[in-house]
Structure 1
Amino acid sequence: PKFGRFRVFSSPNPISQLTLRNLGPYARTTLSTARVQAEYEPRASLNPNDVRNSRMGVFMGTQFSDSETTWIYIQDVENGFSILGHNRGMLANRVSYWFNSYGPSYSFHSGDTCGIEGLSIAYDAIEKGYCETALVGTAAFAMHPEMSFHYKGLGILSDDGYNRSFDDDANGFVRSEALVVFFLQKAKNAKRIYASIVHSHAECYGDRKAGYIVPLEYPMTNILSNFYQQCGIDPSTVSYLEADGSGIKARDAAELNAISNVLLRDKQLPLLIGSIKSNLGHTSASAALVSVVKVLISMEAGKIPPNYSFNKPSQKIPALVKGKLKVVTEAEPWPGGLAAVNSVGLTGVFGHILLRSHSKEKVNSGLPEDDLPRLLVISGRTEEGLNDTLDKLESHPVDVECVRLLHDLYSSDIINFSYRGYTLIGSHDTYRDIKGLTPNLVSEYIATCAEFSSLIIFGTARCAVCPLPLPLLAVRGLLCAASSRRGASVQPLHNDLLCRAPSLVREPLTSTPVKTGADTLSPTALDGSTR
């Protein structure tokens, strides 16, 4: 969202407009991203009701805030709300208040390893029963050039704007920014799984024999050895490593030499490595979670994206020169199995996380085994947003898993999603309509629901009064209220779909676990409930 304007949507606990006008960019974007991730996530089939009033933990990490001096010390304000709006200690609490969740709510201030620290705390909290689910997020923005001046003074900022991770000509990193939010839950409750966390750990090494910004190899070697001993995993089974790869030559050498000491000890084949910093730059507090995002995308896409600006291996890394570590410079097929993400903080904090690929593949690549169209009835906050969603759904091939997840997502109301629409995907003809729920229409809708609460028809039909095709699905009130109450006739368009619709309303899952809820409905045994 734009920093000048910000609106609150779908919140049971609204935030005052005075507070909103004084929210800093960290709070604004964190609230917006957290809402999209946990309250409205079609790919995970999460409905707002799944997380509201629940034991959801919130863990938000930051490092520097470029906006605090601008809004608190420079800007001429008439009230003290800027102190509240730019207090990074309230980031997690604002998100918890937004969702009315009563799990643990932590805001923490750390360095480049923020993401792994947050994932480790959240993983531990879920494992010990402190919360049922968790939101883990990090935020980092580059708003003022003064920070670049300070990094340049430390000699760790790139001179030419290239982030040459692992390269012999590496001369520092390029500043970048990112805000990342993850939703964590137990695998048995997940409707879709991207990856599983095997183990996660972050540690600040205090026994240093050099200054804070000088990278050291021996503490990283100790931490990695202890990490794999604790989780009981043979480090040689790791198939891909997303390294920190900051582009600082000495730091990259210390990191990969420690990796070689542990992960290559009994490994026969070269270990594939990469660093997202070569593509995007260094995102400071969000760097670790951005690396995790790259690994998850690689798992989903089945390919590892290549590193940029890698021409000659650093001579300070023997395993890289000998080919035992292989930097991915061309798109490589995803090897599957275990993937590790390493993070090295500027001040002696080290983090490591081990992820396992979700190996279950889609049956028939998600394509249906018949040629029947699928009906999707969805809602949205604005007509434009709903049209965009329908456009995307219509532009892709039919995916029965996606249809099933969307059916679950819209099985109950979403606050302030006052636009309703439907589309037929997989049909030669286009059938689409969007209606906004005005107060008059809502009253008529409620009256119609009361009158036709037990009437549910499956399929697609054309109303004799209005010229638009009508979706007839197991959702009360989606019949044209005015036409139904006038006793208008309904003419079926797809008789085969009408006959076979009960088996299509709830598509069977093909690749990932989804909570089934009630049994599949039939046209002769209906309870009038929303499906």
Structure 2
Amino acid sequence: MESDEIVISGIAGRYPKCDSFNQFKDALLRGENLVTEDDSRFSVGLLDTPRRAGKINNIECFDADFFGVTSRQANAMDPRHRLIIETVFEAIVDSGFNPKELRGSKTGVYVGLGYLDTQEHSEEDEGTNGYKLVGASLALIANRTSFFFDFHGPSYAMDSACSSSLYAFTAAIKAMEHGEIDSAIVSAVALVLNPYETKECNLLNLLAKDGLCKVFSRNRDGFVRSEGAVTILLQKKSVCRRLYATVLGADMNCDGFKPEGITVPSSQSQFDLIRSIFETKHLDIRDVCYVELHGTGTLIGDHTECKSINDAFCSDRKDTLLIGSVKSNMGHGEMSAGLCGISKVLIAMETGIIPANLHCDDIDLSLPGIDNGKLKVVSKNKTWDGGIASVNSFGFGGSNAHIVLRYNPKQIIKSNLINNRLVMVSGRTEEAVQYYINEIKAISNDAEALTLIDAVHKFNIDGHTYRGYVVLGEVYKERIQRFENKKRPVWFIYSGMGSQWTGMARDLMKIDVFKQTFTKCHNALKPYHVDLFKIIFSDDPMVLENVINCFSIITAVQVALTDVLKSIGIEADGFGGHSLGET
């Protein structure tokens, strides 16, 4: 059933030089090279390693108090733990859900990652404080997410090297397909903190000497190590509020024994995996219009993968298949690489533009599929015409993964002017709320986006001590204030004679709850020859000179307003009234 389709409904991430998915989108569409040369991790060129890498901003920053982590725990916590829990929160909010709405749910947490550098330090006696084991645990990087958000599905981390994130994605999809869970968090993270790991890669001739990932180029000589932290929320289509893409298929396999050695990729295994997905899911492989390749920029890796993609997709294809790899833009995100690839595909689906590959001016025309024109590298921004896209990934030990995504064809509903539209937000700081308000102003004509923001802030977010609102329209207003975490009593005060005016509450008839209650009052008074609709829509000031009309309209409006307040969760702690309002 279509309503049971699994969809990507939320995404958040940290990418090199980019603090969010939207910043990453802008950088890719600008064609920006996100690999940099600096000493923010270790000295440039240390141990004779390449001088460039892709690096996330501000990995030392973490709002420990918000996530219920003590300062001692936070100081002993691997930064990967911190990045995951931050991006999980942001991905849930991005989906239009308040995290409170998912508490207690059968949500699984699947994290792709590898060895944590801080494990080495936790094994040293100096500075041992009882928190290092917890802060450097592979298991707890997933379990901490389940604990904080109160998720009750499976929760574990997995390592299949560079395909880790798509292995995690596939495990989540299979669990949802089998009915084991209702929704899933899929996360992955990789950091370049250890120069000895970089040296190992360099000794294996995996790294590009110039720090450029020249995927598909004749001059390719390896990849550039890079960082990434990405989280995706998977939900059923029937319950999602945002739909980035529908997951049509996902699977994984392994090369098994190969005479060439364990680290040599197998085009046959990748071919078998791809064909198996399309046959099992009854999909027409010719409908795929773009494939995001693993694309490491190594001589054998690119050749092997192009062969498997060409053999799997192009044997019965008349048109050219577009291909690319985000590693040309940001380097190799290693354990996060698969989700970084998905990020690029979602950007193409959202914007209608496939971002260009970088550093491919001299494309290797001997690569399978490129040699006969069946495959074409997207070397400049290309219009996305919709359809199906695939993402391919393989680990250096032979673990392959492949997923198939269908774009969401629904058009975004926009309005030239949304007048008197109230949008409320909250945050940890005044600056955070102001940032949110600025974002709202930028999308003020996007009715659907504003609806998602409303849904997130329908319930209080614990720890958000600043509140703000903006009124969009011809008369713009905004306000931010600190919220004192004290529950003040709410009193409903009902007025009496003298509070009426011609046309009173007429605009409130646009609110369904108000109109329904007002109609009930009208029907109750109709046998007594009192027509509330005639009173409220009359422009004649003499209508309210009639005492019965006046009493009736004041009462009906206040009863209807009471129901409106109740419908949005505002209950009275006490009641007060004057004159007619006392009754």
**Aligned partners of 1:113 and 1:202 also within 8 Å:** no
Q: Tell me the residue number matched to 2:63.
A: 7
Paired residues of 1:305 and 1:328 also in contact (CA < 8 A): yes
Whole-Å Cα distance in 2 between the matches of residues 177 and 226 of structure 1?
A: 32
Shift of 1:74: 5.3
- 1:414 maps to 2:461: yes
SS of 2:238's partner is helix
Distance 2:288 2:560 in 1: 48
CA contact (8 A) 1:196 1:357 kept: yes
Instruction: Tell me how far 1:164 sits from its aligned partner.
Output: 0.9
Aligned partners of 1:26 and 1:88 also within 8 Å:
no
Note if 1:23 corresponds to 2:99. Answer: no
1:37 alignment counterpart? 91
* Amino acid paired to 1:47: N
CA distance in structure 2 between the aligned counterparts of 1:349 and 1:228, rounded to whole angstroms: 19
Which residue in 2 is equivalent to 1:236? 286
CA apart distance, 1:385 = 0.7
How far does residue 315 in structure 1 lie from its aligned partner after superposition?
4.2
SS of the residue 2:566 aligns to? coil
Tell me which of 175, 185, 192 is aligned to 2:225: 175
1:276 to 309, 323, 326: 326
1:530 aligns with 2:539: no
Matched residue, 1:465: none
Deviation at 1:529, TM superposition (A): 3.2
2:32 is matched with which residue? none
Question: Which region of structure 1 is more displaced relative to structure 2, 307-316 or 166-175?
Answer: 307-316
Aligned partner of 2:554 in structure 1 is none
Aligned positions, number: 466
Distance, in Å, in 1 between the alignment partners of 2:501 and 2:78 is 55
Whole-Å separation in 2 of the counterparts to 1:424 and 1:301: 27
Query: Matches of 2:322 and 2:438 in 1, distance apart?
Result: 38
Tell me, in whole angstroms, the C-alpha distance in 2 between the residues paired with 1:315 and 1:196.
Answer: 34
TM normalised by structure 2 equals: 0.75
Residue of structure 1 equivalent to 2:437: 390
One-letter amino acid of the structure 2 residue matched with residue 367 of structure 1? S
Contact in 2 for aligned 1:122/1:136 (Cα 8 Å): yes
Match of 1:57 in 2: 108
Distance 1:371 1:80, change over 3 A: closer
Query: Contact conserved, 1:6 with 1:21, CA < 8 A, in 2?
Result: no
Q: Give the conservation status (yes or no) of the 8 Å contact 2:513–2:567.
A: no
Q: Distance in 1 between matches of 2:158 and 2:564?
A: 51
Which amino acid in the other structure matches residue 347 of structure 2?
I
- For residue 94 of structure 1, the aligned residue among 144, 148, 162 is 144
Residues 195-234 of structure 1 correspond to what in structure 2 (within 5 A)?
Answer: 195-234=245-284
Give the secondary-structure state (helix, strand or coil) at the position aligned to 2:312. helix
Instruction: Give distance in 2, aligned partners of 1:266 and 1:490.
Output: 75
Are the counterparts in 1 of residues 443 and 449 from structure 2 also a CA contact under 8 Å?
no
Q: Does 1:133 align with 2:159?
A: no
- C-alpha distance in 2, partners of 1:37/1:490? 47
Confirm whether residue 257 of structure 1 aligns to residue 307 of structure 2: yes
CA displacement, residues 107-135 of structure 1 (integer Å, 9 cap, x when unaligned): 11221111111111111111222211110
Does the C-alpha gap of structure 1 residues 83 and 2 become closer, same or farther in structure 2, counting only changes over 3 Å? farther
Match of 1:381 among 428, 453, 456: 428
3-state DSSP of counterpart to 1:322: coil
Aligned to 2:477, which of 422, 425, 431? 431
Structure 1 residues 415 and 269, CA, compared in 2 at 3 Å: closer, same or farther? Answer: same
3-state SS of paired residue (1:165): coil
| TM-score normalized by the length of structure 1 | 0.82
CA contact (8 A) 2:467 2:480 kept: yes
The 3 A distance-change label for structure 1 pair 392 and 210 is same
- Which residue of the partner structure matches residue 287 of structure 1? 337
Q: Do the aligned residues in 1 keep the contact of 2:392 with 2:401 (CA within 8 Å)?
A: yes
The one of 115, 118, 143 equivalent to 1:67 is: 118
Contact in 1 for aligned 2:122/2:128 (Cα 8 Å): no
* Alpha-carbon contact 2:306-2:368 (below 8 Å) kept: no
Q: 1:502 aligns with which of 488, 495, 511?
A: 511
SS, match of residue 404 in structure 2 = strand
Displacement of 1:497: 10
Check whether the contact 1:64–1:140 (CA below 8 A) recurs between aligned residues. Answer: no
Structure 2 partner of 1:46: 97
Separation in 2, partners of 1:72, 1:202: 33
Report the AA paired with residue 63 of structure 1: G
Distance 2:312 2:270 in 1: 10
> CA distance change for structure 1 residues 500 and 431 in 2, over 3 Å: closer, same or farther?
farther
Separation of aligned partners in 1, 2:212 and 2:66: 42
- Report the aligned-residue RMSD: 2.8
Return the letter of the residue paired with 2:388: L
Distance 1:401 1:325 in 2: 37
CA gap of 1:211–1:490, structure 2 versus 1, over 3 A, is farther
User: Residue 401 of structure 1: which of 435, 445, 448 is its match?
Assistant: 448
The answer on whether the counterparts of 1:66 and 1:141 sit within 8 Å (CA) in structure 2 is no
Confirm or deny: 8 A CA contact 1:398 1:426 kept in the other structure.
Answer: no
CA distance in 2, matches of 1:279, 1:421: 37
Q: Deviations over 1:324-368 (max 9, x none)?
A: 1010011111121110001121111111100011111124xx225
Instruction: Summarize deviations over 1:388-416 as a string: whole Å, max 9, x none.
Output: 11122124442111222222221121112
Q: 1:491–1:151: structure 2 CA closer, same or farther, 3 Å change rule?
A: farther
Matched residue, 1:511: none
SS of the residue 2:471 aligns to: strand
Q: Percent identity?
A: 29
| Runs of 5+ unmatched residues, structure 1 | 456-483, 506-520
Q: Which runs of 5+ in 2 are unaligned?
A: 1-56, 515-558, 570-583
The 1:524–1:239 alpha-carbon spacing in structure 2 relative to 1, beyond 3 Å, is: same
Letter in 2 for 1:257: K
Counterpart residue identity of residue 203, structure 2: G
Q: Please say if residues 107 and 154 of structure 2, whose CA atoms lie closer than 8 Å, have aligned partners that are also in contact.
A: yes
The separation in 2 between residues aligned to 1:99 and 1:497, in whole angstroms, is 43
Amino acid at match of 1:53: G
Q: How do residues 75-154 of structure 1 correspond to structure 2 at under 5 angstroms?
A: 76-154=126-204
Indicate how the Cα distance of structure 1 residues 344 and 500 shifts in structure 2: closer, same or farther if over 3 A, else same.
Answer: same
Deviations 1:447-467 (A, max 9, x none): 1x2x12x98xxxxxxxxxxxx
1:372–1:497 Cα contact (<8 Å) kept: no
Q: 2:205 aligns with which of 144, 155, 159?
A: 155
User: Whole-Å Cα distance in 2 between the matches of residues 230 and 55 of structure 1?
Assistant: 27
Equivalent in the alignment of 1:508: none
1:329 — aligned with what?
Answer: 379
Q: Secondary structure at the match of 2:329?
A: helix
